[in-house]
Amino acid sequence: MLPPPPGIEVHEGVALARHTYMRIGGPARYFATPKGLAQLELLMLWAMQQRMSFRLLGGGSNLLVADEGIDAVVVSLRSAAGGMTFEGTHVTAGAAVMLPALARAAAEHGLGGLEFAIGIPGSVGGALQSNAGIGDGRSIGPLVESVEVFGARGFQTLSRDEVQFDYRRSSLRSSGVMVVGVTLGLAPRAGADIAAEMRRLLDARSASQPTAEPNAGSIFRNPPGDFAGRLVEAAGCKGLAVGTARVSELHANFIVHDGVATAREVTALMAEIQHRVQAQFGVWLLPEIEWWGDGTRPEAFGPDPFAEVDEGPGL
Ligand X SMILES: Cc1cc2nc3c(=O)[nH]c(=O)nc-3n(C[C@H](O)[C@H](O)[C@H](O)COP(=O)(O)OP(=O)(O)OC[C@H]3O[C@@H](n4cnc5c(N)ncnc54)[C@H](O)[C@@H]3O)c2cc1C
Question: So which residues are the catalytic ones?
Answer: 168, 218, 288
Of 265, 267, 173, residue with least CA distance to 219: 267
User: Would you say 54 or 276 has its CB closer to ligand X?
Assistant: 54
Contacts of 222 (CB under 8 A, 6+ apart): 167, 228
Rounded to the nearest 5°, which phi and psi values hold at 255?
-105, 130
User: Would you say 112 or 133 has its CB closer to ligand X?
Assistant: 133
Q: What is the end-to-end Cα distance of the chain in Å, rounded? A: 28
User: Would you say 265 or 290 has its CB closer to ligand X?
Assistant: 290
CA trace torsion 66, 69, 72, 75 (10° rounding): 90
Which residue ranges make up the site for ligand X (CB under 6 A)? Answer: 21, 55-63, 77, 95, 120-123, 125-127, 129-130, 132-134, 178-179, 215-217, 290
Could you tell me the smallest distance in angstroms from the CB atom of residue 25 to ligand X? 11
User: In angstroms, rounded to a whole number, what is the distance separating the alpha carbons of residues 118 and 148?
Assistant: 23
Q: 3-state SS of 145-184?
A: EEEEEEECCEEEEEEHHHCCEECCEEHHHHHCCEEEEEEE
Could you tell me the smallest distance in angstroms from the CB atom of residue 240 to ligand X? 20
User: Would you say 276 or 315 has its CB closer to ligand X?
Assistant: 315
User: In angstroms, rounded to a whole number, what is the distance separating the alpha carbons of residues 44 and 151?
Assistant: 10
Could you tell me the smallest distance in angstroms from the CB atom of residue 128 to ligand X? 7
Q: For residue 233, how many other CB atoms are within 10 A of its CB?
A: 16
User: Would you say 143 or 276 has its CB closer to ligand X?
Assistant: 143
User: In angstroms, rounded to a whole number, what is the distance separating the alpha carbons of residues 189 and 208?
Assistant: 27
C-beta separation of 172 from 129 below 8 A: yes
Could you tell me the smallest distance in angstroms from the CB atom of residue 145 to ligand X? 17
Could you tell me the smallest distance in angstroms from the CB atom of residue 241 to ligand X? 19
